[in-house]
């Protein structure tokens, strides 16, 4: 057996072993499966899993555990190795090139959206975000798509903690107005946020689904002077939906 240095913390190594057990072929695992994969007792594996769940890095559904988007906080190097961002990159590049707008893929993490992939427009605009950055979910098109997909209980819990503030004169001003907007997004399956977070910038977003699994939200940022609202919904929206379907197909293969 290899002798470890005095500074070596075994519990840290075991924690990482547990997280790394959730690889591409094991996205959801039981306590017994994790114990076997990490060469631990079931009791030990359970303690690590529950601790990671308490910290927000795992979520549990009955006896199964799976990673949450919070693992993305561990660093940009981890982001660059994720399968979903890699699957999305070529499609985001195509959108940015074809439409001349910035394209991004986000997930919901707490009260924020987390950027997991982004391709900038050839032109500059006032929004300056990059992979790993966060924005308040409630005031973004991506966030509203993701919030609208939550169960009624999850949405109520989310809205309870929303910190409403005015970013521009167009920002929604009350929870009632926000809830009406979320109902609209849920019904139509897409979101258009018009200059609510940044003056002069519109955000269009659609969900990225693989079967019933919501992978994230796909967005393009459109400067006010470049496209009117009608062309956004009639021209850009179908292109964005197609890209979302293509990302889901590349991520896990086309479903029958």
The torsion angles phi and psi of 57, rounded to 5 degrees, stand at -85, -20
The torsion angles phi and psi of 136, rounded to 5 degrees, stand at -60, 125
Instruction: Tell me what the mean pLDDT of segment 210-215 comes to.
Output: 87
Whole-angstrom Cα distance, residue 179 to residue 144? 10
Q: Tens digits of per-residue pLDDT, 48-68?
A: 999 999 998 899 888 899 988
Domain boundaries, the chain: 10-67, 73-252
Domain topology for 73-252 = Beta-Lactamase (3.30.450)
Residue 193 has pLDDT above 90, yes or no: yes
Do residues 66 and 28 lie in contact, with contact meaning Cβ atoms separated by under 8 Å?
A: yes
Q: Which residues contact 153 (CB under 8 A, 6 or more apart)?
A: none
CATH architecture type of domain 10-67: Orthogonal Bundle (1.10)
Instruction: Tell me what the mean pLDDT of segment 204-222 comes to.
Output: 92
- Confidence at residue 234, expressed as pLDDT on a 0 to 100 scale: 86
């Amino acid at each position: 057996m290899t002798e470890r240095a005095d500074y070596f913390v075994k519990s840290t190594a075991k924690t990482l072993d547990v997280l790394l057990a959730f690889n591409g072929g094991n996205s959801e695992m039981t306590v017994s499966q994790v114990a076997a994969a990490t060469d631990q007792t079931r009791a030990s594996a359970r303690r690590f899993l529950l601790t990671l769940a308490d910290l927000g890095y795992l979520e549990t559904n009955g006896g199964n555990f799976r990673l949450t988007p919070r693992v993305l906080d561990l660093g940009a190097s981890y982001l660059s190795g994720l399968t979903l961002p890699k699957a999305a990159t070529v499609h985001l590049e195509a959108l940015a090139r074809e439409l001349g707008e910035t394209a991004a893929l986000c997930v919901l993490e707490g009260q924020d959206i987390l950027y997991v992939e982004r391709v900038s427009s050839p032109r500059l605009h006032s929004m300056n975000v990059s992979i790993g950055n966060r924005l308040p979910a409630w005031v973004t098109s991506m966030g509203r798509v993701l919030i609208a997909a939550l169960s009624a209980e999850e949405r109520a819990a989310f809205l309870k903690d929303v910190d409403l503030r005015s970013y521009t004169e167009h920002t929604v001003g009350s929870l009632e107005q926000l809830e009406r907007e979320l109902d609209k997004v849920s019904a139509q399956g897409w979101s258009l946020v018009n200059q609510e977070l940044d003056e002069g910038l519109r955000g269009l977003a659609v969900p990225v689904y693989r079967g019933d699994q919501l992978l994230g939200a796909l967005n393009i940022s459109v400067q006010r002077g470049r496209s009117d609202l009608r062309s956004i919904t009639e021209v850009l929206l179908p292109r964005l939906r197609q890209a979302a379907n293509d990302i889901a197909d590349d991520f896990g293969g086309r479903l029958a």
